[in-house]
Structure 1
Amino acid sequence: MNLTERTEITRQIAVEAGQLARDYFRQIDTLKIEKKGHQDFVSAADREVEVLVRRRLAEHFPEDAIVGEEHAPTEGSSGFTWVIDPIDGTTNFVNAIPAWVVVIAGVKNGQTCIGVIHDPCHDETFVAVRGEGARLNGHPISVPRDLTLRDGSVAVGHSNRIASEATARLVAAILNAGGLFHRNASGALSLAYVAAGRLLGYSEAHMNAWDCLAGQLLVAEAGGKVEAQDADQMIANGGRVIVGAPRVFDDLVRLYEAALVPSPSE
């Protein structure tokens, strides 16, 4: 089965999973919610949606490995690994904010080959295939090639692995450089918005693979700039994520690296 065929099946699985998640979202007042850590929630919806995605992937690709946020990894023999976030933006989800997505990425030989991000609340499906471009609901998308930091908004994620002061410095630096900052509490959705040209860039000090691999491929295939990373290493350890439009990326890296230098009092 070629990548295009795999991708279409993945898209269908993401849409089906999104329908299930949306059903839970409509009954949010009755949903059991647990707190894993500071601003880190998990619900029955997260677990059940991941079970559905895993089951569908296993039906179509029984020899592939599967890694997800909420359940233990499943080993495979094909060399192909599926990476799942059943609901990215769970804090939004549990607070009835319609800014969350289903995320599925396909990885082989250290490269993300397939990226699908489905937004059920707005009926938007972002799809990328390595070497074949990026699409939104079947239509090609691209990042703006001529816009600078002063021409739009940059999304900023926050990781509990760094001091909050560092994130605040980055936000201030973006504002001082003439840009605007945006945060919607879903890293995957923000990355999809960069690919679609709605945002000019995104940065976060540490993301897990299920949050970022699909979105990074979307940005790259839409003509944006993405830091080179080994997808297998990201699956194992996670890492920093910086992406941007061509004339924004270098400035965002510079601002990010300056902001994360700790002050003497930290």
Structure 2
Amino acid sequence: MAVSPSELLDIARTIALEAGELIARRRNEGVTIADTKSSSIDVVTFADRECEEFVKARLLELRPEDGFYGEEGGDSTGTSGLTWIVDPIDGTVNYLYGIPQFAVSIAVVEGSPDPGTWTQLAGVVFNPLKGELFSASLGGGAYLTSEGVTEKLGVNQESLLAHSLVATGFAYSSELRAIQAETLTRILPAVRDIRRAGAASLDLCDVAMGRLDAYYERDTKPWDYAAGSLVLREAGGIVGGLAGAPEGRDMLLAANTHLFPQIEKLLLS
């Protein structure tokens, strides 16, 4: 690999800040739904599409030999062995309603966009309304930059499940939501409380900085977690699926080393 993770992180950071400015400006101008995907409530805004095209074009300028894998399509295979995984607006429903919990998520991995085989090299999650930029590179630690101040991140070391604040999310499929609701009945009595904020990338970063103790969700896609999971890992946390599987559509669980096996046991029960 001719380029270092820190150099790739600089590129991701620059483009995320530019893209964040774009979606914030479009939010102020008014949001328009462009289409729906898996169901009538799974919406795509024109800003989602515009932002992804913007990020793709910027990467083509700076890294023309790399591959691209984005939520809104337009995937391409490069020749360098690196792939950029992009969610132009993670938390689109929040974006639609003006809830300030959405982000641009940009990651670059060595290999294909598959958590079972990739090596995560760099990732950035940027919430433009809060002005919070989360970033991480392989072996370089995880950081939050806000209001010109940068701090290194580290997960909480809470070990008691009953004292843990846990986030989750729900699918757009009504059938899968029913299953997730049943799972919640096992988790909720065992923990301090549950939060559902609506943006997987930011949930992962919130665990990384200690705003949350853990996060789990089913039916996530690579663009949801490619950047945020690296931030969490570099902050000392664990991200995975169940029973030794990698994180993915079946389950994504993120926590510290103490809580991960305890929550995993409940999810498997």
User: How many aligned positions are there?
Assistant: 252
| 8 Å contact from structure 1 (residues 144, 245) kept in 2 | yes
Q: Matched residues in 2 for 1:83 and 1:238: separation? A: 16
Q: Which residue of 1 aligns with 2:158?
A: 146
Q: Matched residues in 1 for 2:192 and 2:40: separation? A: 29
SS of 2:100's equivalent? Answer: coil
**Aligned counterpart in structure 2 of residue 185 of structure 1, from 198, 208, 214:** 198
Q: Which residue of 2 aligns with 1:14?
A: 16
TM-score by length of 2: 0.88
The CA deviation at 1:228 is 6.9
CA RMSD after TM alignment:
2.0
Q: Matched residues in 1 for 2:176 and 2:43: separation? A: 20
**Aligned counterpart in structure 1 of residue 170 of structure 2, from 158, 165, 185:** 158
The CA deviation at 1:75 is 1.7
1:8-42 superposed Cα distances (whole Å, 9 cap, x missing partner): 1210100100000001111225x244322143110
SS of 1:82's equivalent? Answer: strand
1:226-262 superposed Cα distances (whole Å, 9 cap, x missing partner): 1279xxx98xx8552111122211111111222xxxx
- Letter in structure 2 aligned against 1:211: D
Query: Sequence identity, in percent?
Result: 34
Q: Which residue of 2 aligns with 1:71?
A: 73
The CA deviation at 1:208 is 0.7
1:39-79 superposed Cα distances (whole Å, 9 cap, x missing partner): 31101100000111111111111100001011221220000
Which segment drifts farther, 44-53 or 148-157? 148-157
The CA deviation at 1:144 is 1.0
Q: Matched residues in 2 for 1:17 and 1:148: separation? A: 39
Q: Matched residues in 2 for 1:228 and 1:172: separation? A: 20
Q: 1:257 to 1:65 in 2, by over 3 A?
A: same
The gaps in structure 2 that reach 5 residues or longer are: 112-117
| 8 Å contact from structure 2 (residues 164, 214) kept in 1 | no
Q: Matched residues in 1 for 2:181 and 2:249: separation? A: 22
SS of 2:253's equivalent? Answer: strand
Q: Which residue of 2 aligns with 1:121?
A: 129
**Aligned counterpart in structure 1 of residue 62 of structure 2, from 60, 63, 83:** 60
The gaps in structure 1 that reach 5 residues or longer are: 259-266
Q: Which residue of 2 aligns with 1:263?
A: none
1:183-208 superposed Cα distances (whole Å, 9 cap, x missing partner): 01111111111111111111111211
- Letter in structure 1 aligned against 2:223: W
TM-score by length of 1: 0.89
In the alignment, does 2:254 pair up with 1:252? Answer: no
